[in-house]
Structures are given as structure tokens and as C-alpha cells.
């Protein structure tokens, strides 16, 4: 029985390696996993669609794996990473993904305040460093999403328009459905993993209306980015719906 199971595993592995090698050289997909925006859950789906190449730093350390040689990747691969630390941002670590049309970069985003609250809870659970207050945490890295994307008030739309797709965590399943169509992949149910946003946890955080208003003011660029991503996603949903209505899009097709 064991030998049979091992044989099945070996055959499956060989089949995947053969698929990878025979797949087209382009496009190559890059998942820019903005922390606490549903990427852990999405990774589970990507594992079913692609051969995932992980490029994440080790926990809260500054240790990164060796850079992936992107020229060796093919369309069966998907490179995944946070690319969130200065010196390791996506345009710094892999500048070639923004050159030409070989690479298609996609991401997910969420409400900036909810993102920061989730980061705070995650750090409380997993970061061995001395704990900080919520107020200090919220003030520590204003416009966090903008810093990860290297976006400014002047260029944020241009930066976001380079992304092949940006999903919205608050519309997680719908975003995954549209992404599946865009990639030409079979529809999947989004598993919810690594959740740190339970209602009980939210109630414990000392958030007043004044603090929320202050956060929005100090993170105005992140909200411009979030609102623009909402606009883009609505437009992409409408495009998919229109193509489906006129019969030009099948379940495993995607818009060009």
C-alpha cells in the first residue's frame, strides 16, 4: 500500500514537472502578497492553479531566500512574496517584472484601517519583540500600502494600472471568481486561513471615532489607493459579466 502511494506521488510530481517544462514561456505570473490582505488563503488556491515559487522572508527577521531566476520561470509558475520591506520591494527585488509584457502581476487589497488592525493583532500573537500600544502601531508606518507599492499622490493610479488584477478582500470570493476568469483557471472556493479579525478581537481594541478620523487623515493616500482599486475591480467585474452575457466568455476563459 505504501509503495503504491509513493508511486502515485512520484507520478504526480513527474507530471507537474513535465507540465511546467512544456508550458509557454510567457506570461509568468507574480502574486504581490500585501500582508494581511487574504494572501495566505489565496496561496492555497494558487497551489491548485500553478507551481508556486515562494519568495517570503523568514517571519519578522530580515532574512530572505536567494532571488529567483525569473528567466527560468514559465506560465505554469507563480512567484509569490510580500516584497514589503525597503530594499526588498517588488521594483527593487525584481525590477524586470515591470519591463515588457512577459510578467503579469496581481494582488489583493483591503480597507487600510482593517489591514493595520490585523497587522497589530498578528504582531501581538507572533512578534517576540516588546509589545506596542495600538495607537503607536497605527502611527508607526502611515500610508503603509503606498510604501509597499512605492506609490505617491502623483503616481498612484499609474502604479496600480501596471497590475494585471487587484482583488478586494472584503469581496473575497467574488474577487477570486473574477481572477479565475482573468487567468483562465477553474473556479475555486476561497478558504479563509490565518484570520486575525474576529468580532471579539475587534471589540478589545480601544478605537474611538476620533482615532479613526485621525487615522484616515494620516493615511489619506492609502484610502485614495483603496478607493481606486474598488473602482478598477467594479469595472473588471462589469467586463466579465458583459462577456458572459454575450456568450464570449466560458467558465475557464478570461478576458484578454
Task: List domains and CATH numbers for the chain.
Answer: 2-245 (3.40.50.300)
Strand-strand pairing, 28-32 and 51-54: unpaired
Per-residue pLDDT of the chain (256 residues; tens, 9 = 90+): 555 555 555 655 566 666 666 578 889 999 999 999 999 999 999 999 999 999 999 877 788 999 999 999 999 999 999 999 999 999 999 999 999 899 999 999 999 999 999 999 988 887 767 677 888 999 989 999 999 999 999 999 999 999 999 999 999 999 999 999 999 999 999 997 655 544 444 445 678 999 999 999 999 999 999 999 999 999 999 988 887 777 765 555 554 4
Q: In this predicted structure, what is the pLDDT of residue 253? A: 53
What is the C-alpha to C-alpha distance for residues 211 and 227, in angstroms, rounded to an integer?
20
- Using only C-alpha atoms, what is the Rg of the chain? 20
| Segment (H or E) for 80 | strand 77-81
Give the model's pLDDT for residue 196: 54
The candidate with the shortest Cα–Cα distance to 185, out of 165, 205, 170, 201, is 165
CB 89 within 8 A of CB 150: yes
Question: For the chain, how far is it from start to end, CA to CA, in angstroms?
Answer: 46
CA distances, 232 to each of 122, 143, 195, 229, 236 (Å): 29, 20, 26, 5, 6
Q: Residue 179 has what pLDDT?
A: 96
Contact between 183 and 29 (Cβ < 8 Å): yes
d(CA 153, CA 157): 9
* Secondary structure element (H or E) that encloses residue 104, with its range: strand 103-109
> 490582505: which residue's cell?
37
d(CA 95, CA 218): 29
**pTM for this predicted structure:** 0.85
Amino acid at each position: 500500500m505504501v509503495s503504491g502511494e509513493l508511486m502515485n506521488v512520484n507520478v504526480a510530481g513527474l507530471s507537474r514537472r513535465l507540465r511546467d517544462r512544456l508550458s509557454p514561456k510567457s506570461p509568468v505570473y507574480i502574486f504581490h502578497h500585501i500582508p494581511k490582505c487574504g494572501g495566505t488563503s489565496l496561496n492555497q488556491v494558487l497551489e491548485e492553479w500553478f507551481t508556486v515559487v515562494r519568495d517570503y522572508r523568514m517571519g519578522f527577521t530580515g532574512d530572505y531566500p536567494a532571488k529567483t531566476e525569473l528567466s527560468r520561470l514559465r506560465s505554469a509558475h507563480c512567484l509569490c512574496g510580500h516584497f514589503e520591506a525597503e530594499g526588498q520591494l517588488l521594483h527593487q527585488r525584481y525590477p524586470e517584472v515591470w519591463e515588457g509584457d512577459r510578467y503579469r502581476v496581481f494582488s489583493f487589497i483591503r480597507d487600510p484601517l482593517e489591514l493595520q488592525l490585523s497587522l497589530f493583532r498578528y504582531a501581538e500573537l507572533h512578534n517576540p519583540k516588546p509589545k506596542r500600544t495600538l495607537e503607536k502601531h497605527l502611527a508607526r508606518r502611515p500610508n503603509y500600502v503606498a510604501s509597499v507599492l512605492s506609490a505617491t499622490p502623483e503616481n498612484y493610479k499609474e502604479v496600480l494600472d501596471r497590475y494585471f488584477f487587484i482583488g478586494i478582500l472584503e469581496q473575497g470570493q467574488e474577487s477570486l471568481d473574477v481572477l479565475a476568469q482573468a487567468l483562465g483557471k477553474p473556479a475555486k472556493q476561497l478558504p479563509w486561513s490565518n484570520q486575525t479579525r474576529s468580532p471579539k478581537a475587534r471589540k478589545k481594541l480601544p478605537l474611538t471615532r476620533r482615532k479613526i478620523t485621525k487615522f484616515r487623515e494620516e493615511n489619506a493616500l492609502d484610502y485614495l489607493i483603496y478607493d481606486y482599486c474598488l473602482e478598477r475591480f467594479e469595472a473588471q467585474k462589469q467586463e466579465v459579466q458583459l462577456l458572459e452575457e454575450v456568450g464570449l466568455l466560458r467558465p475557464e476563459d478570461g478576458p484578454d
